[in-house]
Chain A
Amino acid sequence: MKKTKDMLSPDGTRPVKQEFPKRNHISEYPTGPGFTAGHLAEINAGWRVFKPIIDIEKCIGCYKCYMVCPDGVIFKTGEKAVAVDYDYCKGCGVCAHECPVKAITMIKDERD
């Protein structure tokens, strides 16, 4: 069984995705839906039209965006510094709306 520290990215800021490998026999399934934490989230950035860009120079480190992000994808990168995990940001813009110093801007997400 993995320990908590093994389920974080090398810099310790983000959980890493755990694979739920295909089971070849029914006995390999867990008893009821339970599995190593973190495996659930599939990358789901596909529905985003706009993405938030944080101007770290303007940011005062109030962590309001961190608190309000409905998907918990804003994380601390140090004292007075935040970043967005774009693999899971859905582009709702709540963070930009709530930032007291307008350090977050929503820009058109150019992806193919």
Chain B
Amino acid sequence: MKLDNSKKLFVSGDEAIALGVRLARPHVISAYPITPQTIVVERLSEMVEDKSLDADFMHVESEHSALSAAMGVSAVGARAFTATSSQGLLYMAEVLSYCSGGRYPVVMMNANRALALPWSIFGDQSDSLLLLGSGWIQCYVEDAQEALDMIIQAYKIAEHPQVLTPFMVNLDGFILTHTYELVDIPDQSEVDEFLPPFSTPNQMSLENPMNLGFSSTPADNLEFKYQQHQAMLNSLSVIEDIDAEFGDKFGRYYGGVLETYQTDDAEHIMITVGTITGTTRVVVDKLRDAGKKVGLIKLRYLRPMPEQALIEAVGDAMSIGVIDKDISFGHEGTIFTNVNSALSKSNQTPKKHNFICGMGGRNISKNDIIEMFQLLEDSVKGKDIPAVNFINLNTSIQEKE
């Protein structure tokens, strides 16, 4: 299928990413295909082939090489794109910290997919959540339009002089990467105005020869880490500004670090990340119709962790639920840990419950989410509900007689 420059196209999440990348005019794409990211790489290679995208496509032999190459591209002050998923992201993990520590603003798409074992090509968020500490900005999108738009925003945020931090755009595997919707395609000229070419202070060049990406003795190491942390915190306001600027130009605002839905008077709030937001929004409407005061917070970013915005959005809700499509074995869902930690910095004391579900591609139905809201309500009424609940296990976990 040829992706032309029509104003609207009926495309998959993966194709929306490819369209967004083309509009951002990267100089180099270095990527290794992996399900369910493959279509991104296929479409981009076709665009390079048919010359609708003026970029070099590097055929690398692994994900480790894909990001190493992208980092080199960024080091000479050029724009780089890569994409991966699951085991591929983990294979790339070593280079993630090089890239963030070197302050190379590479943009990567990650198709959220389960981790082996059991081996699975289906979606959950265990892969990227494992790498929250890698120094990358992590954004999670809900639909194909947001996926395309966030690629454009991602470069602008990552390349901001106060940020200079690589950026990972996460799409739920299959649920978003392989489903189709009508997507607005921004004008190239407007994207060019929004996203000028980038310049970097640590550029590799013959005029100013520098050692780049070197080691540091203990005397200076902590300072570089402090800078990285500071840059990530700076990105909180940069994200808000750029989201507003994008909205003014293209007519779509995403709420910056998070989006709230029906939270103002909500007693019970579900916190979601990625595509499950859509289903939860429908459930909120349904429960509101039945007179229940429920709401939803869509966390769009997990790094930087939008602590203050989250505290404000939760307000004085009586309970919060966190949907995690992952589990940190022996503890709890990773998003739950992060939300808990943020809320512990305020005086709020809502009941807090974690719902582990959707792993390895297991469906999360509207009824599952209704059950979660019910558990929150029961908890507030004094019923003893565990902090961590597995939802929709298809076998009994009761003690045998």
Contact = CB atoms under 8 A, between A and B. Distances in A.
Real complex partners, A and B? Answer: yes
A2 to B, nearest CB: 8
A32 B210 contact: no
A30 B209 CA distance: 14
Interface stretch (B212-220, B296-304, B308-316): B212-220
A23 B102 CA distance: 19
Contacts of B329: none
Nearest to B221: A33
A4 to B, nearest CB: 5
Nearest to B164: A31
B202 A34 contact: yes
Contacts of A31: 103, 164, 200-202, 227
A35 B210 contact: yes
Nearest to A18: B211
Interface residues of A, number: 20
Among A29, A30, A33, A36, residue most surrounded by chain B Cβ atoms (within 10 Å):
A33
Contacts of B210: 34-37
A4 B212 contact: no
A38 B211 contact: yes
Contacts of A35: 210-211, 214
Nearest to B219: A22
Interface in A7-38: 7, 20, 23, 26, 29-38
B224 A29 contact: yes
A25 to B, nearest CB: 10
Contacts of A29: 220, 223-224, 227
A97 interface: no
Contacts, number: 65
A33 B223 contact: no
Contacts of A40: 211, 214-215
Contact of A34 (B213, B215, B226, B230): B213
A40 B208 CA distance: 16
Interface string B211-250: 1111110001001101100100000000000000000000
Nearest to A4: B209
A26 B223 contact: yes
Contacts of B211: 34-40
A90 B383 CA distance: 71
Contacts of B274: none
B209 A32 contact: no
Contacts of A43: none
B166 to A, nearest CB: 11
Contact of A30 (B202, B215, B226): B202
Nearest to A42: B217
A101 interface: no
Given A33-B101, A37-B209, A26 B226 contact: yes
B363 to A, nearest CB: 43
Contacts of B201: 30-31
A33 B214 contact: yes
Contact of B102 (A1, A33, A37, A39): A33
B231 to A, nearest CB: 8
B214 A1 contact: no
Nearest to B208: A1
A33 B228 CA distance: 11
Given A23-B223, A26-B223, A26-B226, A33 B213 contact: yes
A11 to B, nearest CB: 19
Contacts of B227: 26, 29, 31-32
Nearest to A36: B210
A29 B220 CA distance: 9
Contacts of A38: 211
Contacts of B164: 31-32
A26 B209 CA distance: 23
Given A23-B223, A26-B223, A26-B226, A33 B215 contact: yes
B213 A32 contact: yes
A7 to B, nearest CB: 7
Sorted nearest first, the 6 A-B pairs with minimum C-beta distance are: A32-B103, A34-B202, A1-B208, A37-B209, A34-B212, A32-B102
15 contacts: A1-B207, A4-B209, A26-B226, A31-B200, A31-B227, A32-B104, A32-B212, A33-B213, A34-B212, A34-B213, A36-B210, A37-B209, A37-B210, A37-B211, A39-B211
Interface of B: 101-104, 164, 200-202, 207-216, 220, 223-224, 226-227, 230
Given A30-B202, A33-B101, A36-B210, 11 more contacts: A23-B223, A26-B226, A29-B220, A30-B201, A32-B102, A32-B103, A32-B202, A32-B212, A33-B214, A35-B211, A40-B211
